[in-house]
């Protein structure tokens, strides 16, 4: 199996910062893209940021300039540095990875999610 475990969520005041981590483990041959998605109450899950194996990043307009996604390929870990947080950022944040588990097979995997609450 492949497991993705998020950490770093919590409660933060508006304007504050938070750093999320997601570590992938298990049967991993290689990892292509990794990303962070979020789901606010009553809303559909949406893309926040992605990063390719080569380090190319992409951000949703709503987080561009405030969030930074990065990865440590040696540790199979992706990070999301969140700055200037707003109440609208409140959501469950999910880690996603496109994992090649063998030379012949790959698939998308999701973490369990970590709660981020931005409130005064």
Model confidence over 86-101: pLDDT tens digits? 999 999 999 999 999 9
CA distance 101 to 90: 33
pLDDT at 1: 86
pLDDT at 77: 97
pLDDT at 2: 96
Q: What percent of the chain has pLDDT over 70?
A: 100
Mean pLDDT of 39-53: 96
Q: What rounded mean pLDDT belongs to the chain? A: 96
């Amino acid at each position: 199996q492949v497991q993705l475990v998020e950490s770093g969520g919590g409660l933060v005041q508006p304007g504050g910062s938070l750093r999320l981590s997601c570590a992938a483990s298990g049967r991993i041959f290689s990892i292509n893209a990794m990303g962070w998605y979020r789901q606010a109450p009553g809303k559909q899950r949406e893309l926040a940021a992605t990063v390719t194996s080569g380090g190319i990043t992409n951000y949703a307009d709503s987080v561009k300039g405030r969030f930074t996604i990065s990865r440590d390929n040696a540790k199979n870990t992706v990070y999301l540095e969140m700055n200037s947080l707003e109440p609208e950022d409140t959501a469950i944040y999910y880690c996603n990875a496109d994992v090649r588990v063998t030379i012949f097979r790959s698939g998308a995997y999701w973490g369990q999610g970590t709660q981020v609450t931005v409130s005064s």
